[in-house]
Structure 1
């Protein structure tokens, strides 16, 4: 068991207590196509200072994202709200598990301030799972969205939410705040859930995404998965069909990277050609946007992707009008 000191609150936290009991798994050597350089640029350092000065948490750091150098150099960051301690212990995730701290009432204003300082045209907000809260943190999500709207009304907002499992009415609170993009990741195919995402339910997550469209059809919906966890190709294709049945607009597919020997092992490094094949198939199934590559992550290139997503919807509507 490894105890880590939170550099913001100075509160002891335990990183992955459940994972500490899992046997060490061999970490496969990364192929050349998935290697990235260590971040050292001026833009990266400036972004890090803005994040730290506002006492904010980013999933870029907590999840050990391989794209942090590229994104932070461009002043792009994904803010992780409601603390840095998650109430779940998914086998793939590098975020700490334990008992979370109370919500910070100043956090919405702090996030909005950082968005302004970084001059973000598009921002991504995610969070840890907060199963300890009655609404799963839904109202806090809504407060962050509203704070950003007040501070920088031209900024488009993408949220990557937990599943709000067994939190009646939580989704409605978040949707009412009108994010531009609602993202909730399925993470993997159903057959892997017991070992990879044991605290979640595949069809509940699907229903969550479908319900967003029922509540507000103008909101773009998005979901992502990791491959290399032992899934079969036909399972990935079925998952695509499931997402389209839920009217999801955008799918992201990226390579799973094992954070430590205590995490779920990598079963396979999927080749760039295989990722390209998934992209081709996903477009034929009707997704407005597809991002599929070894280093694809939910919020990688999110701003550029949002512009393309909006353009794709406009083109689809124009084509439908022309046929009418």
Structure 2
């Protein structure tokens, strides 16, 4: 079972110079914790010795989600092998994989009564397959114990892991999500361990390997990108067959993390959403508080409805 002793966070970021932290505008609201359901969710996760991206990434929506018994499971530990400058997840040498974790995830999904679950992970560059087999085992365990639950995976890029990602797709998730995170110009400072075209290729190959799967990707804004750069990334996503795009405001976790350039207004997010809809995505979520797994179950229902509507033949007027 996992040891819940608090560990020091971000030793690799401690040497970075402190960055100015901008004051949050009124439209950025961090949801409050404290309801009985929030406590019940926390206890179920603790009883099953599970990590969540909600906690490890300091998600501002945790209070709302956990109060509705929704949680995003983070498998393969709480320590990432990369040190992306935007991310609040701790970096270091991860523990060995826990063979019993897939079963505990399945038990937690059942206890929470989840109709749709999002499963993500830290980057595990130390593993020969990047953790793909563990992802597949977790999908199968959840499916076996919760056959009515739809499954969404938010996967790492499997950089230098060949076709290991195929194990994840072949395990049969309903949604295959991999976030591009930012425009390619910003990768050296935001995602130095990743490659934009590797991430794009992963999404394209997953869709080609299993065309019926929904593919999804997300971006953070407020890092210094331009609207034209966002437009180009959307075009790249559509060429790769991405069905669903999420766009949310970057929030700087600590002064040692990547500096925030600015807060986009709700009107600017609406413009981004309109632009994405115009590109032909089946579903779009673009708001200041949007995160990859926020309201994921409702979004999955929208995806299904959009695909069904797109498949319906247009009414032909009678002569």
Q: Count how many residue pairs are aligned between Structure 1 and Structure 2.
A: 317
For the Cα contact (< 8 Å) 2:31–2:64, is it kept in 1? no
- Equivalence for 1:138: 132
Give unpaired runs (5+ residues) of structure 1. 1-6
Per the TM alignment, residue 11 of structure 1 is displaced from its structure 2 partner at its CA by 7.1
Per the TM alignment, residue 237 of structure 1 is displaced from its structure 2 partner at its CA by 0.7
Question: What is the CA–CA distance in structure 1 between the aligned matches of 2:37 and 2:241, rounded to whole Å?
Answer: 37
Per the TM alignment, residue 320 of structure 1 is displaced from its structure 2 partner at its CA by 6.6
Q: Which one is further off, 314-323 or 49-58?
A: 314-323
- Equivalence for 2:243: 249
CA deviations over 1:37-75 (Å, ceiling 9, x no partner): 421111111101101111000000000000001111111
Give the secondary-structure state (helix, strand or coil) at the position aligned to 2:87. Answer: coil
Q: CA RMSD in A?
A: 1.5
Residue 277 of structure 2 corresponds to residue 283 of structure 1: yes
TM-score by length of 1: 0.95
* 1:153 equivalent among 143, 147, 155: 147
For the Cα contact (< 8 Å) 1:13–1:98, is it kept in 2? no
Residue 70 of structure 2 corresponds to residue 76 of structure 1: yes
Per the TM alignment, residue 15 of structure 1 is displaced from its structure 2 partner at its CA by 2.3
Residue 35 of structure 2 corresponds to residue 35 of structure 1: no
Per the TM alignment, residue 21 of structure 1 is displaced from its structure 2 partner at its CA by 1.5
Question: What is the CA–CA distance in structure 1 between the aligned matches of 2:213 and 2:293, rounded to whole Å?
Answer: 17
Give unpaired runs (5+ residues) of structure 2. none
Question: What is the CA–CA distance in structure 2 between the aligned matches of 1:158 and 1:321, rounded to whole Å?
Answer: 34
- Name segments (4+ residues, structure 1) moved above 3 Å: 10-14, 319-323
Aligned 1:291-302 pairs, distance under 5 A: 291-302=285-296
Question: What is the CA–CA distance in structure 2 between the aligned matches of 1:86 and 1:55, rounded to whole Å?
Answer: 18
* 2:163 equivalent among 151, 169, 177: 169
Give the secondary-structure state (helix, strand or coil) at the position aligned to 1:223. Answer: strand
Aligned 1:298-317 pairs, distance under 5 A: 298-317=292-311
TM-score by length of 2: 0.97
- Equivalence for 2:205: 211
Give the secondary-structure state (helix, strand or coil) at the position aligned to 1:158. Answer: strand
- Equivalence for 1:117: 111
